[in-house]
């Protein structure tokens, strides 16, 4: 499971301030803390309040890669902002994200090819959020097809079924989980799957409990990657245990510690 740390995001006040003040130390500390907790990649998002994202994104990338060579997940709804990050990145990258809209795919798939980046494809389009499993699958197929047409290797594509908050979209939770296993068999070789986990608990009281319970189920359905808060120790303990149960790590009495050392 590729764990992508979500905490370098301008919507968090400490990172928002660090971006405005060009405070490298605060961003680098946040990067290293997440890696120490088990993150193997870092999401990088200037945040909605950024007034100069075309400058903020490359500054963040350069700041982070001074202290780590972990994969950077360049997160923006604006392709131009993502490209400014790609231009300066020496680390491996993941583009976060394209939708299933043709105009987005026409820009972002070639961008992923040009910079040899992996790519997240969210099963959403201009019509809005899918309301069921079939709509998710249809959007996923169109993303996979676009990648195949444009010569992008599908095994470097991460399909995201778009996780909704359980308190507003309870009837869709099972569809979202089942989409994870369905997405993987659209093509051969198959695309990978990813979720933005924290959204499932947005607005709920027991956020960590909801997050780790949903993540466990998603792992059972074959999830390959999640963007999450790696500093939530109980969440990571649960994730390690879920992967243990599915025989992805070998059991030993100190398996939690052993996994973290790895």
The site for a copy of itself (CB under 8 A) is made up of 166-167, 170-171, 173-174, 177, 200, 204-206, 209-210, 213-214, 216-217, 219-221, 237-238, 241-242, 244-247, 250-251, 253-254, 256
> From the CB of 38, what's the least distance to a copy of itself, in Å?
16
Pick the closer one to a copy of itself by CB: 22 or 233. 233
> From the CB of 154, what's the least distance to a copy of itself, in Å?
25
> From the CB of 174, what's the least distance to a copy of itself, in Å?
6
Q: Report how far residue 186's alpha carbon sits from residue 225's, in angstroms, rounded to the nearest whole number.
A: 18
Pick the closer one to a copy of itself by CB: 88 or 252. 252
Long-range contacts of 202-207 (CB under 8 A, 24+ apart): 202/165, 202/167, 203/165, 203/167, 203/168, 204/165, 204/166, 204/167
Closest to 133 in 3D by CA, of 168, 194, 174, 184: 174
> From the CB of 157, what's the least distance to a copy of itself, in Å?
25
Pick the closer one to a copy of itself by CB: 28 or 211. 211
> From the CB of 214, what's the least distance to a copy of itself, in Å?
6
Q: Report how far residue 172's alpha carbon sits from residue 133's, in angstroms, rounded to the nearest whole number.
A: 8
> From the CB of 204, what's the least distance to a copy of itself, in Å?
7
Pick the closer one to a copy of itself by CB: 119 or 219. 219
Pick the closer one to a copy of itself by CB: 126 or 246. 246
Pick the closer one to a copy of itself by CB: 77 or 170. 170
């Amino acid at each position: 499971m590729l764990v992508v740390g979500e905490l370098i995001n301008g919507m968090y006040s400490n990172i928002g301030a660090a971006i405005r003040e060009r405070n490298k130390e605060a961003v680098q500390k946040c990067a290293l803390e997440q890696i120490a907790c088990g993150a193997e990649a870092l999401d990088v998002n200037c945040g909605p309040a950024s007034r100069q994202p075309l400058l903020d994104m490359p500054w963040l990338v350069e700041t982070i890669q001074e202290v780590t060579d972990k994969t950077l997940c360049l997160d923006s709804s604006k392709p131009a902002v993502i490209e400014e990050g790609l231009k300066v990145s020496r680390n491996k990258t993941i583009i976060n994200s394209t939708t299933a809209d043709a105009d987005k795919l026409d820009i972002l798939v070639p961008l992923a090819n040009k910079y040899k980046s992996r790519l997240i494809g969210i099963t959403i389009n201009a019509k809005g959020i899918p309301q069921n499993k079939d709509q998710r699958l249809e959007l996923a197929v169109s993303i996979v097809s676009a990648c195949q047409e444009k010569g992008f290797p599908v095994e470097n594509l991460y399909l995201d079924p778009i996780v909704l908050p359980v308190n507003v979209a309870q009837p869709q939770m099972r569809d979202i989980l089942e989409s994870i296993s369905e997405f993987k068999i659209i093509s051969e070789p198959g695309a990978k799957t990813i979720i933005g986990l924290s959204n499932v608990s947005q607005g709920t009281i027991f956020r960590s409990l909801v997050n780790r319970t949903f993540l466990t189920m998603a792992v059972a359905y074959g999830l390959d990657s999640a963007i999450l808060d790696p500093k939530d120790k109980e969440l990571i303990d649960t994730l390690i245990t879920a992967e243990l149960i599915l025989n992805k790590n070998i059991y030993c009495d100190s398996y939690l510690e052993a996994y973290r050392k790895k």
